Amino acid sequence: MSLINQTVIITGASKGIGRALALTLAKEGANLSLVARSEQELTAVQEEAQNLGAKASIFVGNVADEAFVKNVIEQTATTFGSIDALVNNAGFGIFKQATEITTAEWDDIYATNVKGTFLFCREAIPFMKTAGKGHIINIASDVAKRVFDGGSLYCSSKYAQDAFSMALRKEVRKDNIKVSVVYSGLVDTYFHNRVEGDAHQEKYLSSQDMANTIHYILSAPAHVVIDELMIHPISQEY
């Protein structure tokens, strides 16, 4: 399916997977609403997308802020006339023993990884229902399917995001709204507190690998839905 003039909201678009996806979809002619907290980095992505010929709006804020999310959705619908797809990609990890996790860290991870996904879905779905179609892609993790020592906070947040997505899929399928979940292994981004391209991450998936994968899911014919997609670098055991 062509993405020309399709409106796509991407959260976490200032760097990593979200940035690579924004630039990939810009080349395909999509209209973009890009969301993140870092204004300078997001503006740079907007300019790159525009230089590739795309229309791109930016929204600087936190995905866990309800008023902010409502504004992103309303402004996107007003500016572009539709919300064809939503990619809930913003997220981060904290890896500690459960006894070492602060309440603030717990709340922050759940606010971003779970509440942010919920808020964007809740606000976008009415527009998709009115249009009679839509596509939500939630970027989870392979640790939405397995756990590890030190992963109680991050893994449980990704399990929650995944369970929300699975239930949501059942709610909105009758409305012709697709819900896809991507379960990714290691990706060379800022997620691991290293810069993209760091030698420690050379065997990881690249953010472009992820962008290509999400583009593939988004481009499926109207009657096809890729409900789940698991992806790893060959160097990572699974």
Ligand X SMILES: NC(=O)c1ccc[n+]([C@@H]2O[C@H](COP(=O)([O-])OP(=O)(O)OC[C@H]3O[C@@H](n4cnc5c(N)ncnc54)[C@H](OP(=O)(O)O)[C@@H]3O)[C@@H](O)[C@H]2O)c1
Catalytic residue annotation: 154
In whole angstroms, how close is the CB of 11 to ligand X at the nearest point? 6
| Closer to ligand X by Cβ: residue 134 or 185 | 185
At residue 213's C-alpha, the angle toward residues 70 and 23, to 5°, is 60
| Closer to ligand X by Cβ: residue 15 or 178 | 15
In whole angstroms, how close is the CB of 2 to ligand X at the nearest point? 26
Listed in sequence order, the residues at least 6 apart from 193 whose beta carbon sits closer than 8 Å to its beta carbon are none
In whole angstroms, how close is the CB of 221 to ligand X at the nearest point? 26
Cα(146)–Cα(148) distance, rounded to whole angstroms? 7
| Closer to ligand X by Cβ: residue 115 or 135 | 115
Listed in sequence order, the residues at least 6 apart from 32 whose beta carbon sits closer than 8 Å to its beta carbon are 7, 8, 9, 10, 13, 22, 25, 26, 49, 54, 55, 56, 57
In whole angstroms, how close is the CB of 91 to ligand X at the nearest point? 2
In whole angstroms, how close is the CB of 89 to ligand X at the nearest point? 5
Region of 176 please: left (phi>0), alpha (psi -120 to 50) or beta.
left
The residues binding ligand X (CB under 6 A) are 11-18, 36-38, 41, 62-64, 89-92, 112, 139, 141, 184, 186-187, 189-191
| Closer to ligand X by Cβ: residue 15 or 135 | 15
| Closer to ligand X by Cβ: residue 128 or 139 | 139
From the list 238, 228, 46, the residue with the least C-alpha distance to 148 is 238
Listed in sequence order, the residues at least 6 apart from 1 whose beta carbon sits closer than 8 Å to its beta carbon are 218, 219, 220, 221, 222
